[in-house]
Amino acid sequence: MSDAVLKVRDLRTQFHTKAGALKAVDGVSFEVARGRILGLVGESGSGKSVTGYSILGLIEAPGEIAGGEVLLDGVDVTRLKGEALRRVRGAKIAMVFQDPMMTLNPVLKIGTQMIAAVRAHDKVSRKVAWERSRAALAKVGIPSPEERLDAYPHQLSGGMRQRVAIAIALLHSPAVIIADEPTTALDVSIQGQILAEVRRLADDTGTAFVWVTHDLAVVSSLADDICVMYAGKVVETGAAAEVIASPRHPYTAGLLASVPAEHEPGERLPQVPGSTPSLANLPPGCAFAPRCFKAGPACTTTPPVQHFEGGRTALCHYPIESDSCPPPSSTSAAYQNAS
C-alpha cells in the first residue's frame, strides 16, 4: 500500500496521572489509502478514540503524544504546532465525533458554525461561505438546507445533526476523515443511511476514512480494512472480509462471536469473559491473556510477538490457525466454556 495518504507509525500517547503514565495508545501503526475505509475496532478503553484524537493533535494535558509519527502525504502531523497544525485540521484531516448532541454548539445557529468552519481555511465572504455550507448540506442528503442553516442544533434530529457534522467535515474536501463512532448514538435505520452515504463519498471523492467503532457489524458492511485494538495496542490487521471470515487473534474471534446477527434469536450471546484491563496495571505478558481461551504459559510472562501472514498481522503467541479456523459458533462455544 504505497499510495497510502495517511500512515500512522508506532504512535504512542500517554496520560500522566498520579498512578504514573497511562499508555492509552502504545505503538499503534496502520495505513489508509485514497478512497478506502479503515475500521478501527475495539471496546471502550482500548485506545481507539485516543488514536483518532492523536492524529489531529487534539490531545490535551495531562495527555501527550510520546512518540511515533502520523504521516499525511509525507508530512509528520505530530511535529506541527500552532498555525501549521491549524491549517491541517479541517482542511486535510477532518473529524466527526460520536455524539451529535454535543459536537454542535447549542447556542449558535448551524449556519454560523458552518460559515466559521469554511472561513477557517478559505478567506471568502460570508455570502460565499453560506452558499458553500448550503451545498455541503445538500450533498449529505439534508432536505431544504437553507432552513437548516438558520436553525439551532436542538431543532434538528440526531441523524440530521450528525449529517451536519459530516457536512462540516467535508467542507474542505479533506484527504482523510476520522469518524469517532459517529453512528453509535443513532437509530439503526438512520445509521444504515449514513453508512451508505459514507461509502458513496469515499468512492466518489477519494476521501479516506478512519472509522472508529466498537461495532463489528458496522465495520463488516462498511470497511475495506480492519485494525483491531486492545489495551492501547493493535492486535490484528487485515482486509475486512478476511479478518471477519477467519480471525487470527482470539480477541477478534471473541468480538465476532458476540455479534447478534450470527446467532439464533433467543440464544444467549457469548461474551468475551472479564472486562478491559485497567491501563494502570497491565499484566507483564499479553494484556488479553487473562480473558483468552487459548492462553498458554508464555502469554502471562512474555509480551506477544507479531505474527505475519500475507497482508495480515496478529499480535499473539498462539494465533488461530488458518485451516483449523473455527466457524463463529464453535468459537462462541469455546468462550461459553471459558466463562
Partner 1 sequence: MIGFLIQRVLQALMVVIAMSIIVFLGVYAIGNPIDVMIDPASDQALREALIHRYGLDRPLIEQYFVFMNNMLHGDFGESFIYRLPVINLIFSRFPATLELALTAMLIATCLGIPLGLWAGYKPEALSSRAIMAFSVLGFSVPTFWVGLLLIMVFAVELGWLPSGGRGPTTTVFGIPMSITSLEGWSYIILPAFNLALFKLGLLIRLTRAGTSEVMSSDFVRFARAQGLSEGKVVGLHVLKNISIPIVTVFGLELGSTLAFAVVTETVFNWPGMGKLIIDSITVLDRPVMVAYLILVVFLFVLINLVVDLVYGQLDPRIRVKAAS
User: Which set of grid coordinates corresponds to residue 47?
Assistant: 485506545
Cβ nearer to partner 1, comparing 167 with 257:
167
Torsion angle of the four alpha carbons 83, 85, 86, 90, in this order, in degrees rounded to the nearest 10: 160
Decide: residue 298, CB within 10 A, 0-12 exposed, 13-18 middle, 19+ buried. middle
Residue located via cell numbers 498462539 = 318
Q: Residue 132 Cβ, how far from partner 1 at the closest point, in Å?
A: 14
Cβ nearer to partner 1, comparing 87 with 278:
87
Q: Residue 120 Cβ, how far from partner 1 at the closest point, in Å?
A: 4
Residues 186 and 159: beta-carbon distance below 8 Å? yes
> Does residue number 216 form part of the binding site for partner 1 (CB under 8 A)?
no
d(CA 279, CA 301): 17
Site for partner 1 in 95-154 (CB under 8 A): 95, 97, 99, 102-108, 112-113, 116-117, 120-121, 152, 154
Give yes or no for a cis peptide into 250 (omega within 30° of 0). Answer: no
Q: Residue 110 Cβ, how far from partner 1 at the closest point, in Å?
A: 11
Site for partner 1 in 166-205 (CB under 8 A): 168-169, 171
Site for partner 1 in 239-298 (CB under 8 A): none
The DSSP letter of residue 320 is: P
Cβ nearer to partner 1, comparing 14 with 49:
49
> Does residue number 159 form part of the binding site for partner 1 (CB under 8 A)?
no
Q: How many other C-beta atoms lie within 10 A of the C-beta of residue 61?
A: 7
The DSSP letter of residue 57 is: T
> Does residue number 56 form part of the binding site for partner 1 (CB under 8 A)?
yes
Question: Which residues are near partner 1 by CB under 8 A?
Answer: 53, 56, 58, 61, 86-91, 94-95, 97, 99, 102-108, 112-113, 116-117, 120-121, 152, 154-155, 165, 168-169, 171
